[in-house]
Amino acid sequence: MGICDESGALMSGEEPILAMAVQRDRGNGLGGGFAGYGIYPEFPDHFCFHMMYHDLKAKEEAEAILDQHFLIEVAEPMPTRPVKGITDAPLLWRYFMTPHAHLLEEREVTAEDYVVSVVMLVNARVDGAFVASSGKNMGAFKGVGYPEEIGHYFRLEEYAGHTWVGHNRFPTNTPGWWGGAHPFTLLDWSIVHNGEISSYGINSRYLEQFGYTCSLGTDTEVAAYLFDLLLRRHKLPLELACKALAPALWTEIDRMDPEQAALMSSLRAVYGPGMLNGPFAIVLGFNGGMVALNDRIKLRPLVAARSGSKLMVASEESAIRTIMPEPDDVWMPKAGEPVIARVKGMDLPFHSQLHASPAEISCAVTAVETACEIEEVAV
Amino acid sequence: MQQTFVQPEFRVKIDYDKCHKCGRCVQQCGWGVYDFNERPIPHDEKCRACHRCVTYCPAHCITIEKNTLAFRDNDNWSTDARKAVWKQAETGGVLLTSMGNPRPYERIFDKLVLDACQVTNPSIDPLREPMELRTYLGRKSDSVAVEPNGTGGFKLAGSTGLERNVKLDTPIIFAPMSYGSVSLNVHRSLAMAAERCGILMNTGEGGLHEDLYPYQDNVIVQVASGRFGVSPEYLQRGAAIEIKIGQGAKPGIGGHLPGEKIDREVSSTRMIPQGSDAISPAPHHDIYSIEDLRQLIYALKEASGYKTVGVKIAAVHNVAAIASGIVRAGADYIYLDGFKGGTGAAPQVIRDHIGIPIEIALAAVDQRLRDEGIRNQTSIIAAGSIRSSADAAKAIALGADVVAIGTATLLALGCHLCQSCHTGKCSWGITTQKPELTRRIDPEWGAERLTNLIHAWSHELQEILGALGVNAVESLRGSRERLRSVGLDEQTCRILGVKPAGL
């Protein structure tokens, strides 16, 4: 489920809870979660880490890493309330932080790459610690339970955001655990996902080439990293990133005009290992909107609706009717056709920055043409 | 003459009650097994068990049996080992043979099994849904740069290299087999089938006969150490150019085409004198280091207007490091040939004991290129005993973009793996230049059989993809998660990047 008010008006966290509650029987109580955008207006430029710790030892170790890399402005327990059905919660903390400027300079990386590397480090190195979210002015609230229970547990009604995504989980491949619930996030990206990526094996190997470590073994993780790679690092427009992940069939490409055919064939050939194959309906949330995408032969349900400035997507129309009883328009998005919501006046995050990816840097000696491109980047 | 110790391998049995005494067997046999004196009289010692006579006997009265002559049991000295010593004691020569390594090395493909979808991710029905096999052979960029196209959309900003790739309708191509080692009719069959299937045939190191010029867009032209048949025009004609460094069946040694197989046509295609042995050197005499290879790659690119240039190497111990160097030297694809690959002629000791399995080499190379972040810059062709679509699917899952098949194509044309290609007497008309034998292959018939084979395997690949729940071959390529080992040791599993079944 995803809902975005393109006017930028804020919605209480109660709305996504209601939209998820009506789809209760799509899950089994082993995972529910939400992500909200625009929820921390008092800290718009701080990276906010939502952390999960199994014990105090994990907290100490993870905090040591965070402290080493960031100037920590605020460190506090997540506000929660006791809710029937939510048990065995880990220690939940949040941190508002800025990267140490001297370390950024030393490593010659962008703040985002820096944050990604710390997230990977904490998740991979610290046993019992998990980064639930790591973006600016956003946060993920998730755990083991039905989504409406999780929403109440995190006191979501006390937050207000312009964009919300929500998820109800029926775990199959990985056991139901707090970190494994959706949304899965990285930086500002959050992903909720209905389905299963049958191409997980090659997607994760592809991402490893670019320095991503797929440590959770879930397909949602690869979707998040792929969006990060395509949008933030390769600077693809949102529409084309979606086309790389759910590309047109060759028979369709062959019928396009030469300019579009060249573009689409290149996307397929270059990003083939990243293509998400198998049944999925995913919603990607970001600071400034969201995009919903179905797999290329529409093996999972996805309904979209618009009511005024609000765009909403969900697995079931019932969820939409709960929030917007009489929408202006309701439709079934076509296979592989992205549904995009953009908050007025907000850019796609990270799009103005320029830097080369590790793979681009490592290929300097391979071909004349490639070498020339690298020189331009170096300048 | 000294009596040979080596007894015939086979017994030719004729049921004379059924025999028509027509002499068809005498005419069909390329090995001269039969004399005819009112009825066919077989000479067992000449029989290669190629079954040409059996297939064409109108009375179905011929059977070929193993010569069951008893030897005293000895697990250390196999019968073959004893025979080899006798043969060499008699001749003083290197034992020559052909086709692929027949020894009982572990067959890793047979210990790998594929995954399938159940419930949570559905399988896809290839009879009702699109199931895409199209593959592009060649170097691609690491990312795609775009710019606004002026009408609200986007267009490419700069090249991604795709325009120089070779488009394949299915990820199976024909392996290099030279005109000379095989007959022109075999080449015609391969070229016609390649065109019909939207794939490629490969000249091997024997040049491109002018009869194949109409099919040039479906031909890889090879440049090997002998430079046979190489000219500027030859390079211009290929869809891609391949530098052959080594061959899986005989890593580290050159090629040898005996003078008997070099008739007028072969001579003019290869640009060498008629009747002279065509011996290609073991190394390229202008390649003694990786930078020399780089220079040849770019010389060929310059000469051909920047066509796709690939490099074929045999699978050897440090193949991963070599492959990395080859990619960085500018090769657009790497052709990896495993040690079970076939050959038209090779010393038996080389064929049977040198090189490593394609499964291992492929896995090591694919991982190495990924570790270095240069996997997108090349395509990998895997070959060396791809026996079925299952082998092809497993090779693709291990990391191959494309598989190449040689032995399987010859089997389709009648080959019975008698391992005697080097004699030039192939009764099936495949590995011979004798006109009375080569005319046994009608190119139209051959092309149809090869097209059938490629279509059959492609359909099977689609079935496999459907079972795996993906509808494009790029989602299987390198997806080792979809493979499991049954009975491979831990170390091999680690190298292959494959988990044991149950995990």
For residue B298, count other CB atoms closer than 10 A to its CB.
Answer: 16
Name the H helices within chain A. Answer: 14-21, 56-69, 101-107, 111-125, 147-153, 200-208, 219-227, 238-245, 250-254, 258-271, 317-323, 358-362, 368-378
Give the pLDDT of residue A349: 62
Give the pLDDT of residue A350: 54
**Per-residue buried b or exposed e for B43-68, using 16+ beta carbons within 10 Å of the residue's own CB:** ebebbbbbbbbbeebebebbebeeee
Task: Name the 3-class secondary structure at B422.
Answer: helix
Residue A36 has pLDDT above 90, yes or no: yes
Which 8-state DSSP code applies to residue B175?
P
pLDDT in tens, B159-183: 999 999 999 999 999 999 999 999 9
Instruction: Read off φ and ψ for residue A140, nearest 5 degrees.
Output: -110, 140
Q: How far is A297 from chain B (nearest CA, A)?
A: 8
Candidates B121, B156, B474; nearest CB to A198: B121
Put simply, the answer to whether A370 touches B141 (Cβ < 8 Å) is: yes
Chain A neighbors of B153, CB-CB under 8 A: 260
For residue B5, count other CB atoms closer than 10 A to its CB.
Answer: 12
Put simply, the answer to whether A363 touches B373 (Cβ < 8 Å) is: yes
- B1 pLDDT band (50/70/90 cuts)? low
Cβ contacts from A onto B, under 8 A: 156
Give the pLDDT of residue B491: 97
Sequence-distant contacts of A54-58: CB under 8 A, at least 24 apart: A54/A90, A54/A91, A54/A127, A54/A128, A54/A129, A55/A91, A55/A128, A56/A91, A57/A128, A58/A126, A58/A127, A58/A128, A58/A129
Asked whether the CA dihedral B478, B484, B485, B486 is positive or negative, the reply is negative
CA dist list (Å): A368 to A266, B294, B306, B372: 20, 12, 12, 19
Rounded Cα distance between A50 and A131, Å, is 6
Residues of B numbered 73-132 whose beta carbons fall under 8 angstroms of chain A's beta carbons: which are they?
117, 119-122, 124, 129-130, 132
Put simply, the answer to whether B144 touches A296 (Cβ < 8 Å) is: no
Chain A neighbors of B154, CB-CB under 8 A: 237, 239-240, 263
pLDDT in tens, B357-383: 999 999 999 999 999 999 999 999 999
Which 8-state DSSP code applies to residue A97?
E
Chain B neighbors of A374, CB-CB under 8 A: none
Q: How far is B448 from chain A (nearest CA, A)?
A: 25
- Which stretch of A97-106, A211-220, B397-406 has the lowest confidence by average pLDDT? A211-220
Q: How far is B141 from chain A (nearest CA, A)?
A: 7
Is A317's Cβ below 8 Å from some Cβ in B?
A: no
Put simply, the answer to whether B136 touches A365 (Cβ < 8 Å) is: no
Give the pLDDT of residue A173: 65
Residue type, A76: E
Put simply, the answer to whether A205 touches B136 (Cβ < 8 Å) is: no
Chain B neighbors of A235, CB-CB under 8 A: 145
Which 8-state DSSP code applies to residue B237?
H
Is A211's Cβ below 8 Å from some Cβ in B?
A: no
Task: Name the 3-class secondary structure at B367.
Answer: helix
> CB–CB of B62/B458 below 8 Å?
no
Residue B121 has pLDDT above 90, yes or no: no
Q: Residue B453, class by beta-carbon neighbours within 10 Å (0-12 exposed, 13-18 middle, 19+ buried)?
A: buried
| Maximum alpha-carbon separation in chain A | 65
Rounded Cα distance between A255 and A245, Å, is 20
C-alpha closest to that of B476 among A200, A209, A220, A225: A200
* Beta carbons within 8 Å of A208's beta carbon, 6+ residues apart: A214, B370
Is A268's Cβ below 8 Å from some Cβ in B?
A: yes
Q: Residue A379, class by beta-carbon neighbours within 10 Å (0-12 exposed, 13-18 middle, 19+ buried)?
A: exposed
> CB–CB of B464/B114 below 8 Å?
yes
Put simply, the answer to whether B160 touches A266 (Cβ < 8 Å) is: yes
Is B36's Cβ below 8 Å from some Cβ in A?
A: no
Rounded Cα distance between A156 and A153, Å, is 8
Element (H, E) at B35: strand B34-36
For residue A211, count other CB atoms closer than 10 A to its CB.
Answer: 17
Q: What percent of chain B is predicted at pLDDT more than 70?
A: 100
Rounded Cα distance between B262 and B276, Å, is 7
Q: Which residues pair with residue B308 across a beta bridge?
A: B240
Is B470's Cβ below 8 Å from some Cβ in A?
A: yes
Put simply, the answer to whether B158 touches A210 (Cβ < 8 Å) is: no
pLDDT in tens, A178-233: 888 889 998 999 999 888 899 999 999 999 999 888 877 778 889 989 999 999 89
CA dist list (Å): B290 to A269, B243, B307, B329: 28, 13, 20, 7
Residue A240 has pLDDT above 80, yes or no: yes
- A29 pLDDT band (50/70/90 cuts)? confident
Is A318's Cβ below 8 Å from some Cβ in B?
A: no
Paired tokens of A277? 């194959």
Is A360's Cβ below 8 Å from some Cβ in B?
A: yes
pLDDT in tens, B181-212: 999 999 999 999 999 999 999 999 999 999 99
Rounded Cα distance between B182 and B190, Å, is 11
Q: What is the ipTM of this complex?
A: 0.91
> CB–CB of B454/B171 below 8 Å?
no
Q: Specify the pTM.
A: 0.92
CA dist list (Å): A339 to A159, A258, A309, A335: 25, 25, 14, 11
Give the pLDDT of residue B87: 96
Which 8-state DSSP code applies to residue B472?
B
> If you count them, how many residues does chain A have?
379
